[in-house]
Amino acid sequence: MTSTPGGPGLRPDRAAGAWAARDEPAVGWSGRVMSALRVIAHLVAINLLMLAGTLLGGVVLGAFPALAAGHGVLAPIVSGAPSEQLWRDFWAGYRASWRRMNVLGAPFWCGGALLAVDGLVLSAAPEGAPVVLWAGLAVAAAYGVLALAFLAPATLRGEGLARTWRFVALAPLLSPGVSVAVLFTLAGLVVIGAWAPVLVPLAGASLPLLLTGWLVEHRLRAIDAQAGGGQDLPVRDPALPARSTASAEAPAPAVDSRTTIE
């Protein structure tokens, strides 16, 4: 009887298979741990890159390009294919989206400044501001946060500035389910950040952007799937060629072989 590593009486080829089967769970477990650690490392690195990009633009001119670049390198994490060249991909996206994101972000700065002034005025009221005014201010702030969550995923899909802004401004109303999910997600992250403040400098921007970006991207893909056929969509994947509604719906005319096409 032949003794092998797999046990007495087993042929070497069967013994090797037995040992491989034993090792598979360990390899799978270690692979999952390494993948999780890689995602955590990406979140921390992207958080630092977003901070650097924001400061590089003096906050006002750097925050929104950093937001778009951060979303661009966070999105592949969800699909299981994180960027292999994080530094280069982030700064390439930052430079490419700098002008576009600052134009799209200008109304957010204006709205945020207006809300801040309103909050100061209400706080300085001698007899205290009515609760309804504070409630209105909170609703306006929440709506701004929801619109901001739609901004980066929508703007990276290649539509014009006016059309993108129209979609971002209306998206929280047109997608109430996603809006509620985004608000609950952000509220949960705020609670976690208050419970473990050390996480805020590590992933205080990248983790909310990853989770809300995934929710919004799921909604945008659903919109694309419902519209389909190259119709006039609120957003469009830039990887797809642009086609007008008329050209998508009208059949191609027959071409006479005698016709000369210049």
When mean pLDDT is compared across 31-45, 134-148, 170-184, 241-255, the lowest value belongs to 241-255
Tokens of 217: 């991207």
Helix, strand, coil shares of the chain, percent, nearest 5, are 70, 0, 25
Closest C-alpha among 119, 178, 121, 114 to residue 146 = 178
Residue 31 binned pLDDT confidence (cut-offs 50, 70, 90) = confident
Residue 228 confidence (pLDDT): 67
Residue 248 confidence (pLDDT): 39
How far is CA 190 from each of CA 45, 46, 204, 229, rounded to the nearest angstrom?
20, 19, 9, 41
Sign for the CA dihedral angle at 98, 100, 103, 108 comes to negative
Residue 138 binned pLDDT confidence (cut-offs 50, 70, 90) = very high
Query: Is the pLDDT confidence value at 8 over 60?
Result: no
User: What mean pLDDT comes out for the span 105-115?
Assistant: 95
Query: Is the pLDDT confidence value at 16 over 80?
Result: no
Tokens of 65: 């390009």
Q: How many CB atoms lie within 10 A of CB 121?
A: 12
Residue 4 confidence (pLDDT): 45
Each residue's pLDDT tens digit, 196-219: 999 999 999 999 999 999 999 988
Query: Domain segments of the chain: what residues?
Result: 10-227
Query: Is the pLDDT confidence value at 6 over 70?
Result: no
Residue 42 binned pLDDT confidence (cut-offs 50, 70, 90) = very high
Residue 32 confidence (pLDDT): 79
Query: Is the pLDDT confidence value at 260 over 60?
Result: no
Each residue's pLDDT tens digit, 54-101: 999 999 999 999 999 999 999 888 877 888 899 999 999 999 999 999
Query: Is the pLDDT confidence value at 237 over 60?
Result: no
Tokens of 3: 């003794």
Give me the chain's average pLDDT, please.
79
When mean pLDDT is compared across 86-95, 183-192, 202-211, 222-231, the lowest value belongs to 222-231
d(Cα 156, Cα 53) in Å, to the nearest integer? 18
When mean pLDDT is compared across 93-102, 175-184, 186-195, 233-242, the lowest value belongs to 233-242
pTM of the predicted structure, to 2 decimals: 0.74
